[in-house]
Structure 1
């Protein structure tokens, strides 16, 4: 077998290096389908080899904690694909019919794994009903397997899983309602145990978030995020970007609420260490309390937030300042801002006060005071706009003490001030 596999691998590598431009459109499509079929057959072989290695105890003899860890070492896999291969090999081992469908080309690896998982769920669900005989369990399970394999000719894996949730309505309607109730109870229990939320180490300034929630918890999170995700005129953010911003906004609101537990004896907050050049009187790059680097521009914007504690260092690393109470727009001052601005003061933004930062018109880093006549409420999006190095917006208070925004393009020589007309004033 080893020689055959090596020969097949060599042949596949030669084919992969062959020019494909001479192929017609139909030939290109046919070759793509055949190459995918080859990949799936190889995946089936991988799954069988993994199961045999498990049966023989090979991972344990190599000192691995489990099969996935062994695969990471042997195949140099990342954790996620190593777990996927382990789980799919086990699923196909439990459901030979699904594996045979993969070998026969009637399903790909993901479809076969989905069929195996659904059939496992059907069998365990029927067995838990108590009054269904073993013979009927096997008969219904077989019908479910056959039906799902037939559906694999038309449906991708994720749709097979969705159809599988109600497969008994197709093959055993007299048992479907009771089995569904039992299945939902099991599903909710598993979801509760499987809930998780993780984030990666930063890479190129990006932290990848990953998590799993139960249906109930996901509905709660969605209810909190969706009001902040709705597209508005002039908003060019992608839906995924709006959701990411909404998640941060919800967390910023929680920090401002004062209801979070203390962390290390202090109120929950982000600490940012900022370099300061006394010659240029400019802030340099910053470091968060978790050790991540931020640009000076981002640090200046964050310094407006009452839940950001700036630690300013001089050239020799000495601590020049650890925040200042007068920097934070809290208590009566924050309430006065709410009364005056009614929400984000940027022209015609509709964000309410609780979703805003108190922005220093003359920056705190430049000696600006934390006072009513030097502060304006801005939502996160518009806070970023006015802090951008290339921003054309300037802010001032008008004769009546209300914020005005002046756009400074070359074509607008008159510099007409603009105000927020959305928030009502009494």
Structure 2
């Protein structure tokens, strides 16, 4: 068997590198379908081998805590694919579902969903029977009917769609007990969600950190309720819905950090600590790093310095600390309240973000000697804070005769560069 699999791998590699230009559109489509079926057969074999390795206790014998951990080390897999492979092995306990994969009628993702659905059907359906005289529910037959129906649905529904259909499978195959079974199932699901809730942040790859997690339905609804008002597209907003959700989550976190209600962290209020190289002669900032080791650009540092707690630290050429200055917050107390009163919210022309969703931006950058006072500060929401820090955007800010901020648009937007004010917020 090993020799056959190795030979198949050699042949598959040759086919994968073969030219495709001579194939017709129909042949390309059929080739893609055949390649997908080949992939599913290979994954099915992986699932069988994984099951056999687990049964023999190979991972434990080699010092691994689980077969998932063993797969990650042996195949150099991320956690998600390793878990998927273990989940696929559960399909092997159901001959009809397994055969459907081998026949090419379902893929392993669909088969895994079907397996999980039928395994979650309560085994005590008989106790959920209705009043006297109602038909008696046969649990084994109900499971069989559910499996047959879901395999048939797999011809039209993707794995995620099958999962949604599976949530209400008893409404299809045993409607007389569906509601009572659903109530019991929901109680189990809520308890499971409570146990398995999690949130993880990956190590940065090319400047990106992958955020993933699991929430229960109630927790997810709470999060969506908090994010939804901040996800609405602004005028001329070219962000995708996913980008707007990401920005909304960060706005909620920034709002929480501005409050005084978060618990202390190591005796200090929650804060973001950043180390940055600074040349006092040229007043130039270098690459910065956070206290978690993430690297950020000088442009981002200049924006963070607008509304942050700054702790200057002087380092020598070898990185030794020579002097640590006092921490200073740019806009707090009476100064922040004065900004709220003057600007009423984000001062960028016609933005409707309220004061609590804004940063205090230095018109003349703090890093170039700009003072921290009312005449050098303006409230900006996160989106417009990024805009005014982007040289390519071309916006500049000045104060008018009434000491209220004026925004000068770039020539590409207004050739006359007529100063603009925010007309949404009432002026004080």
TM (normalized to structure 1)? 0.92
**Bigger mean CA deviation after superposition, 408-417 or 257-266:** 408-417
Q: CA RMSD in A?
A: 2.4
- The answer for the alignment partner of 1:149 in structure 2 is 151
User: In the TM superposition, what are the counterparts of 1:309-320 in structure 2 within 5 Å?
Assistant: 309-313=310-314, 316=317, 317=319, 318=321
The CA distance in 1 between the partners of 2:413 and 2:260, in whole Å, is 45
**Bigger mean CA deviation after superposition, 224-233 or 407-416:** 407-416
User: Contact 1:115–1:148 at 8 Å: present in 2 too?
Assistant: yes
2:97 matched to 1:95? no
The CA distance in 1 between the partners of 2:158 and 2:298, in whole Å, is 48
User: In the TM superposition, what are the counterparts of 1:80-119 in structure 2 within 5 Å?
Assistant: 80-89=80-89, 91-119=90-118
User: Contact 2:276–2:286 at 8 Å: present in 1 too?
Assistant: yes
User: Contact 1:357–1:379 at 8 Å: present in 2 too?
Assistant: yes
Residue aligned with 1:418, SS = coil
User: In the TM superposition, what are the counterparts of 1:7-406 in structure 2 within 5 Å?
Assistant: 7-89=7-89, 91-124=90-123, 126=125, 129=128, 136-306=138-308, 308-313=309-314, 316=317, 317=319, 318=321, 322=325, 324-325=327-328, 327-406=329-408
User: Contact 2:122–2:181 at 8 Å: present in 1 too?
Assistant: no
**Bigger mean CA deviation after superposition, 404-413 or 279-288:** 404-413
Residue aligned with 1:122, SS = coil
Residue aligned with 2:287, SS = strand
How far apart are residue 273 of structure 1 and its match? 2.1
Residues 248/322 of structure 1: CA separation in 2 closer, same or farther (3 Å cut): farther
**Bigger mean CA deviation after superposition, 346-355 or 198-207:** 198-207
**Bigger mean CA deviation after superposition, 113-122 or 363-372:** 363-372
Over residues 170-214 of structure 1, what are the superposed CA-to-partner deviations in whole Å (9 max), with x where a residue is unaligned?
111111111111111111111111111111111222111111111
The CA distance in 2 between the partners of 1:21 and 1:413, in whole Å, is 50
Residue aligned with 1:205, SS = coil
**Bigger mean CA deviation after superposition, 345-354 or 134-143:** 134-143
Residue aligned with 1:64, SS = coil
User: Contact 1:313–1:320 at 8 Å: present in 2 too?
Assistant: yes
The CA distance in 1 between the partners of 2:7 and 2:166, in whole Å, is 39
Residues 15/271 of structure 1: CA separation in 2 closer, same or farther (3 Å cut): closer
How far apart are residue 128 of structure 1 and its match? 7.6
**Bigger mean CA deviation after superposition, 111-120 or 69-78:** 69-78
How far apart are residue 293 of structure 1 and its match? 2.0
How many pairs does the alignment contain? Answer: 423
The CA distance in 1 between the partners of 2:396 and 2:326, in whole Å, is 26
User: Contact 2:53–2:59 at 8 Å: present in 1 too?
Assistant: yes
User: Contact 1:364–1:370 at 8 Å: present in 2 too?
Assistant: yes
Structure 1, gaps ≥5 residues long: none
The CA distance in 2 between the partners of 1:286 and 1:323, in whole Å, is 19
The CA distance in 2 between the partners of 1:68 and 1:101, in whole Å, is 25
User: Contact 1:274–1:311 at 8 Å: present in 2 too?
Assistant: no
TM (normalized to structure 2)? 0.92
Over residues 87-112 of structure 1, what are the superposed CA-to-partner deviations in whole Å (9 max), with x where a residue is unaligned?
210x2133232112212222111111
How far apart are residue 282 of structure 1 and its match? 2.6
The CA distance in 2 between the partners of 1:190 and 1:275, in whole Å, is 48
The CA distance in 2 between the partners of 1:406 and 1:114, in whole Å, is 56
How far apart are residue 241 of structure 1 and its match? 1.5
Residue aligned with 2:236, SS = coil
How far apart are residue 167 of structure 1 and its match? 1.0
